[in-house]
Amino acid sequence: MVIGGLQKFSLIDYPHKISAIIFTIGCNFRCPFCHNPELVNPKLYPEKIPEKDVFEFLKNRRKKLDAVVITGGEPSLHKDLYQFISKIKSMGFLVKLDTNGTNPHILSKLIKDNLLDYLAMDIKGSLDKYEEIAGIKVNLENIKESVKIILDIDKSQGTKDILNKKTNLEYLNKKVNANTKVNADIKVNINKKIQYEFRTTVLPKFHDKNEIHKIGKLVSGAKLFILQKFYPTKTLDLEFLKESQFSNNQMLKFKRILENYVQKCLIRWK
Ligand code: SF4
C-alpha cells in the first residue's frame, strides 16, 4: 500500500468506535471539491509512510483502538489492499473501507471473505452527472455494480434474520454444509454483519432537487444514506474555494427527499 497519512485517533470516522485512519495515496477521480488534494494531485503527494511503521503503531494500539479506517485517495486502486486488510483483521481490529466504488471486484471479494465490518461508498451524483462531478471518464457499469453489491449485503443479511427466527443457526449451518436448501454464498454471508453507508457531498454547482431524486433511485432501499455539506475551505480545484454551499434548510429538504428512497438518511454537517 502507498500510505500518505496516519491519523492515530478518531472518535467520528467509524461510527461509535475509536479508530485510527490510514490515508492511501492516489485517486482515479478528480472531484474538484475534493478536500484531500494532497492524496489526489501527484504534485502534492506527501512523503510515504512505510507500511511497517503503520503495523508497528497498530501492534501497540491493540485493545486501545477498536477499528481502522482505510480511506484516501481511493484505497481500492492498490493491488495489495486485500492482503493489507487481511493483516489488519488478523490483529483483531474492525475495518472500515471508504471507496468511490470504481472497483466492484475487490469490494465483492472483501465482503465474501468477511474482511470488512463497515463499507462507505461515495455517490457523486446521478449517473447522468457522474463524469462531470468526478472530473474524469467513469465506467458507470462499475459504479452500478458496486451499488448492487452493497445493497445485496442487506439481502444476504435479511436471509440471515429470517433464518435465525425460524431455526437455530448451528442446525442451519449443518444444512448448508450438506448443501441442501441454502447455497454456499449464503453460508458465507450469514456469518457476518457488515454495516454500510452511501454518501454524497452536495453543492449547488452540481446538485439540485431533481438530482437528489435520481440519487435516491440509484440507491433505493439502502439502509443508510449520509448527506454531506460542502465546505469551501480546501479543494482540489482552487476555483471551488469560491463555490457556494447549501443552506441548512436546503440540506434538510434534500434529506426529506432521500427518506422516500432509503431507510435512513442523516446529514453530516462537518
Ligand atoms: S473526493 Fe473524489 S478525488 Fe477526492 S479522494 Fe474522493 S473520489 Fe478521489
Does residue 30 have its Cβ closer than 6 Å to ligand 1?
Answer: yes
Residue 118 is assigned to a structural domain of this protein: yes
**Number of folded domains that form the chain:** 1
Give the span between the Cα atoms of 225 and 33, in whole angstroms. 20
Quote the Cα angle for 163-225-193, to 5°.
Answer: 30
Residue 73 is assigned to a structural domain of this protein: yes
Residue 212 is assigned to a structural domain of this protein: no
Return the C-alpha cell found at 116: 470488512
pLDDT in tens, 4-42: 999 999 999 999 999 999 999 999 999 999 999 999 999
Structural domain including 113 reads: 3-206
Instruction: Out of 100, 102, 131, 201, give the residue to mutate to test ligand 1, the one with the largest number of ligand atoms within 8 Å of its CB.
Output: 100
| CATH number of the domain where residue 78 is located | 3.20.20
Residue 226 is assigned to a structural domain of this protein: no
Residue identifier of the C-alpha nearest atom 5 of ligand 1: 73
Which of the four pLDDT bands, split at 50, 70 and 90, describes residue 157?
Answer: low
**Ligand 1 closest atom vs CA 30:** 3
Residue 249 is assigned to a structural domain of this protein: no
Residue 233 is assigned to a structural domain of this protein: no
Q: The whole model's pTM is what? A: 0.87
Residue 228 is assigned to a structural domain of this protein: no
pLDDT in tens, 44-82: 999 999 999 999 999 999 989 999 999 999 999 999 999
Residue 182 is assigned to a structural domain of this protein: yes
Q: What is the pLDDT of residue 189?
A: 41
Give the span between the Cα atoms of 228 and 231, in whole angstroms. 9
